[in-house]
Structure 1
Amino acid sequence: NEAMNIMCAEDPSLRVEHIAAMNETILRGIGELHLRVALEEISQKYGVEVQTALPSIAYRETITGKAEGHARHKKQSGGSGQFGEVYLRIEPLERGGGFEFVNKVVGGSIPTQYIPAVEKGIREVLDSGPVSGHPLQDVRATVYDGKYHPVDSKEIAFVAAGKKAFVDAVHNAKPIVMEPIVDVVITVPEDCMGDVAGDLSGMRGAVKGTNVLTGGRTEVSGQAPLKEVQGYHSRLKSLSGGKGDFTMMFSHYAQVPATDQQVLAKEYAKAKN
């Protein structure tokens, strides 16, 4: 990381970023060749061997339906125990809505001082969703009832109960995994336009438009899942005889195909075990 930071200081077009959630260090540059040259320089100049791979896809989870959740956390170990019970309901928010926590407990069924503990337990699930382990977003959670014990109830008990109740609800709220979709602009010689447009469609993408440029070149704009576009430089080089270039920018999140969600869920279950 120190070597990369020095490189970035010397070359402002390089940027380094550490993604803690994925335990990855991302090096960003102008293009594949630019990054390759930078990595070779790090190896030769600083004697550091860098292992590289394509960045992990930043999947997200959300829900598509409403559901109820309930959990009771009870633990007795000789002395005073732990007790907390939570009832909640969840519903989806619009894309980009983030997370909303609503307290509708009345009558003191959960004392006010324990409500933040319930929210804390729920937020622990947001960091790692129950389907694929990716962050969960665009959800409203409403806590409306529960129970407490005047002696055994503690903050830790309501953290645990809130977490369990929320996971219970998510599993019944038709959860889905979402993937990042990117806008792409591809510039190629005019006679390559058909091949490039067809290739983009084959990547679960869509062509949004074409624009004829000067010098016999054509610009193809469209959208595609980031998963399909990773490593596209090599494919474009083959399609255009090395005369094409492209840019991409994040657009939005969309649901992954059902088969992909099954694979991600199985990988997550295997990693947990």
Structure 2
Amino acid sequence: MNCPVTSLPIYQVDAFTSRLFGGNPAAVILMNTFPDDGLLRRIAAENNVPETAFLVPDGDNYRLRWFTPTVEVPLCGHATLASAAVVMERLQPGRTMVTFDSASGPLAVKRMGDRYVMNFPVRVPRSIPLPEGLTEALGIEPVETLDDGFNYIAVLHDFEAVRSLTPDMAAVARLDRPGVVVTARGDQRWDCVSRYFAPAKGIPEDPVTGGAHCGLAPYWSARLGKRELRAYQASARGGELVCRVVGNRVELEGACVFYLEGKVAVPVDQGSESA
């Protein structure tokens, strides 16, 4: 017998881009309460985008959780950006600021014209010896290797080395970090460029990664002597960010484009209610 279902609003947003089919796609689903984690994982797997954000109203603001198609993650930049766009352009048009309660603490996002500025915790990268297996996994030896507390950061010689990289995803997944950021100094248009690989989290290559820039921003800010950085993530879709280090926080600025708006069917016996 089929179990009863309810309909919940869903939005799919391309984040860190001003054009459709660029940036990083995120699904955003509004709920009255969070159901059990198993259902959230199944919904995220069904959506099959790099991250699904689940929003629950909490007073004037919202609680926020993020899932890849396989696991819950403690922080996600592009899905937070997408969630802010949903709140301020669809749920409460005219609103200019929202704070999300998350596993990484309160995350404030403000609207500035057609762009959004997120305030995230900084990840201070520390230089480390070359980890075992990293060169083999990437197919190139980094100039420098760092650990931002979550991922390895591999600094490469130049933009072209980042863009042309074809890592061994199975080997990357075997490393003792959930993901690897590769980065280099940018060209005349960008201060820094990067890519992010996280097959262990169900994302072979993430198109644009806000969390990675929480570590990249302080690294390149110190190297280049700049407080504000123009960053480009050189995935196939490509994405653009402006990063600013502000004390022990990082501001990440970007644009969003709505791709899809509709409803999803969710079992009602799992603790979910229509929002």
Q: Which TM-score band (shorter chain)?
A: under 0.3
Query: Whose helix proportion is higher, 1 or 2?
Result: 1
Scaled by the length of structure 1, what TM-score is found?
0.24
Scaled by the length of structure 2, what TM-score is found?
0.24
Decide which structure has the larger Cα Rg and report it: 1
Q: Which has the higher contact order (CA 8 A, sep 6+)?
A: 2
